[in-house]
Amino acid sequence: MTENEISYRIRGAIYKVYNNAGPGLLESAYEVALAHELAK
């Protein structure tokens, strides 16, 4: 997997978390959700 593919997947996970959780949460909540999404 190239660096671009890895970056694309990470950004996709970030957008997915943000779209599901919405704005206004603490950074720690996004961090936990992103860690879960990346682990999947």
Burial of 20 (0-12, 13-18, 19+ CB in 10 A): exposed
The pLDDT assigned to 36 comes to 96
pTM over 0.85, yes/no: no
The pLDDT assigned to 15 comes to 97
Q: Which residues of the chain have pLDDT under 70?
A: none
Instruction: State in Å, rounded, how far the first CA of the chain is from the last one.
Output: 17
The pLDDT assigned to 20 comes to 95
The pLDDT assigned to 27 comes to 95
The pLDDT assigned to 18 comes to 96
| Residue ranges making up the domain that contains 35 | 3-39
The pLDDT assigned to 9 comes to 95
DSSP state of 39: H
Q: Say how many domains are in the chain.
A: 1
Torsion of CA 12, 14, 17, 22, to 10 degrees: -120
